[in-house]
Chains A and B, each alone.
Chain A
């Protein structure tokens, strides 16, 4: 009965979902989920092991982008990179967390949209430079900042990098996703230009900029009630 779809492998999805909710160690959860899906699809143990091995080898490039910057980032942090970033940003009197993060979001989208996706990134930009800057300004805006609020602001910096990257890179004609779309559509006899796929990414990109900017403002309003106005007036 080849035409009947086998729904049992969905059990694998159920396993990983339940495990994430129950906060079971993700490494064990992944092994349990892939064994479940594999056996439900009636794959042999050897076949499953081969899939694990080839999948893990194929995805080694994911780890490169995190690991390679660590040596230089660690070295510069030891010699005061974060402290310098904080000193630099607090020289701007009018700077707020929202202004900094929205400018970063816009620049990240803009540069990604012309293919410069490596201007930014979590290990080399957010951890050593942007997150410390956000913390320093936040402390200026609200000296009573709790540790929890501090964490929320750091997470917001990381989120801003992701959103800027995702909703910028898709506008770039030579980006892999655009080529992947065109190839898939071509195979199904729908012929579209790379450029028109890229251009149709722009409306969503604009909404992403507006929506996440609003989000940044709302976090700022929640965590950093407006003290800065009074402070600058005093000067």
Chain B
């Protein structure tokens, strides 16, 4: 295959390793040694993670968590690009500045729309298992070169800019992975079974309203705990959806399934566990309150959840 996700792990690994080196060399950085070690470990997990034993990667992850958790990892100080210069450039380059931003989704769309297994000769172009991510990846790299051409800068300037933005995120960039990993460990420890049993064994589900309530709220609550609706779905569907709503009350299975999954998504809007949707954007926007995106989403999340509850109750 020409493009696989592993190539992008290597690219990100090289980027992180470069940042580790720049951080180490940055004499103005107050915690340059420990910060640099943090980025180096993270780089190694991307570069050679596939070849290391899982237990060793586990130890490396705990080391990263302890470094970040004890305040030893912070971002360097960067000068914001000069405002007057930015305004001049905005005038000079005009709407051409949007071209790279459009390039990313365009390339991604082409990559996803290619027929599965599209190949030239015997060479398959894109690994169909991760077509979207590969598409975004190719798009980002193309966009970087186009952007550099438009603004007449060197593409390597992009690495410095990436470091500036990454330093603003600092160790929070790892949170989505840490929390998703925590969800997987919870599953392996049987947390999902325990919650499923608690919901179904101790509550009388013979009343339609109670059954619908437990199903919809269970999906949301479980997603809030695990951070991922895909983990919640099988538990609640297997515990309440199929035996009670579909078999006992004779509800339309496609409807129960779709509304159930979307109730899980309401949970995603309301939990710090889904860090890539809720915490990372707050960090990217440099908000003082890291939970502000979640707080903003809670009223809408509750509203949509109520709509699901009413929909399901009426339609069964």
Contacts and interface: CB of A to CB of B under 8 A. Distances in A.
A215 B299 contact: yes
B65 interface: yes
Given A37-B191, A72-B144, A119-B105, A215 B181 contact: no
Interface stretch (A92-100, A137-145, A159-167, A225-233): A159-167
B180 A55 contact: yes
Interface residues of B, number: 145
A89 interface: no
Contacts of A156: 296
A132 to B, nearest CB: 10
Contacts of A43: 188-189
B121 interface: no
Contacts of B98: 81, 84-85, 129
A67 B87 contact: no
A56 B285 contact: no
Interface string A52-79: 1111111111111111111111111111
B299 A72 contact: no
Do most interface residues of chain B lie in helix, strand or loop, or is the interface mixed? helix
Interface stretch (B27-35, B146-154, B203-211): B146-154
B225 interface: yes
Interface residues of A, number: 117
A234 B258 CA distance: 50
B58 to A, nearest CB: 3
Contact of A76 (B52, B100, B280, B289): B100
Nearest to B71: A25
Given A27-B69, A154-B285, A12 B189 contact: yes
B101 A124 contact: yes
Contacts of A159: 269, 293, 296-297, 300
A5 interface: yes
B92 to A, nearest CB: 8
A43 to B, nearest CB: 7
Contacts of B180: 55, 59, 62
Interface in B286-314: 287-289, 292-293, 295-297, 299-300, 303-304, 307-308, 311
The 5 residue pairs across chains A and B that have the minimum distance between CB atoms: A74-B161, A80-B90, A53-B57, A49-B58, A71-B158
Interface of B: 5, 8-9, 11-12, 15, 45-46, 49-50, 52-62, 64-66, 68-71, 81, 85-95, 97-98, 100-101, 104-105, 108-109, 112-113, 130, 132-133, 135-137, 139-141, 143-144, 147-148, 150-151, 153, 157-162, 164-166, 169, 171, 173-182, 184-186, 188-191, 193-195, 197-198, 225, 229-230, 233-234, 237-238, 242, 246, 252-255, 257-259, 261-262, 265, 268-269, 272-273, 276-278, 280-282, 284-285, 287-289, 292-293, 295-297, 299-300, 303-304, 307-308, 311
Given A62-B177, A119-B109, 10 more contacts: A7-B194, A27-B65, A48-B58, A59-B181, A63-B177, A76-B97, A83-B87, A124-B101, A193-B254, A201-B258
